[in-house]
Chain A
């Protein structure tokens, strides 16, 4: 179990570096550290479906961010002016978040031991009702196919928006 916590700490450090570094390329690579650590964490938690999708999408997002957006020569501009009451606001937020998170965590079941009845129904009857040996796929495409349809619609809309915004037709000549 400690491996997952170590990976979680690595992910937090990676995201902090991504926020605080000066160069955009370093920020992008620190974000990739977060994603790859998440992929290894999925493997430790015995979720190979998630791990495959995570590593493929992470590598692809890294390539797209580095190559297609021209990030390698840009430098982010970080102003030195601090907001008023920034540290006070951070402190208040952390205390409030920790309080409610602690209250909520005490109600959760133990990690990795779900007591939910719905999922056990799926595990028992998934194979005979759908015929799919991979239980994750039988949930994704049969029991919860509406969710997959929504996810496909979101992806379709995102790609459509990117293509429409970046199209050649109607772009202003300089």
Chain B
């Protein structure tokens, strides 16, 4: 069923139409901020929150059923843990490579290229997944709690 044709869920048709056009660029911008974290201002935290806020916009505009179809709350919780484990395992891989905790064991590359700075882009990706999924999961938890508290 088309969520645009369902006036009783979510907000008005104006908000839904604008949200439909705006959500993909927001997610793309968040991914850009995460991937270019070692080159331009921003990084994993800011980019992750931007991606999470795109899903929150989806939830507010279309109601939580549509957002649950895109990303379930359990999936968000799992993604948060996966992001944290990526960051922690990168730190532990420094020991495995024969160095110390948080050793930047990958080659540095040329500055200002996207494949540079060793493991910093990977750590940014891990933090971005963790923060975005965590923010969305806690938002969904609060929404569900409020809806079930009203009943």
> Which residue numbers of A lie inside 8 Å of B, CB to CB?
48-49, 51-53, 56-57, 59-60, 63-64, 67-70, 127, 130-134, 136-138, 140-142, 145-146, 148-149, 152-153, 155-156, 159, 162-163, 166-168, 171
Contacts and interface: CB of A to CB of B under 8 A. Distances in A.
B88 A149 contact: yes
A169 to B, nearest CB: 12
A166 B131 CA distance: 19
Interface in B112-151: 112, 116-118, 120, 123-124, 127, 130-131, 134-135, 137-139, 141-146, 148, 150
Q: Lowest 10 A-B CB distances belong to which pairs?
A: A131-B108, A68-B142, A132-B117, A48-B41, A132-B38, A145-B102, A131-B117, A166-B145, A53-B46, A159-B134
B34 to A, nearest CB: 11
A149 B84 CA distance: 9
A67 B38 contact: no
Contacts of A70: 146, 150
Main secondary structure, interface of B, reads: helix
B84 A156 contact: yes
Contacts of B134: 155-156, 159
A159 B127 contact: no
Interface of B: 33, 37-43, 45-46, 49-50, 52-53, 56, 60, 77, 80, 84, 87-88, 91, 101-102, 104, 108-112, 116-118, 120, 123-124, 127, 130-131, 134-135, 137-139, 141-146, 148, 150
B143 A67 contact: yes
Contact of A52 (B33, B120, B148): B33
Contacts of B43: 49, 53, 134, 136-137, 140-141
B142 A60 contact: no
Given A64-B139, A134-B38, A138-B120, A145 B91 contact: yes
B17 to A, nearest CB: 20
Contacts of B148: 168, 171
Given A132-B38, A156-B134, A163-B77, A57 B141 contact: no
Contacts of B127: 148, 152
Nearest to B60: A67
Contacts of A146: 101-102
A68 B139 contact: yes
Contacts of B150: 70
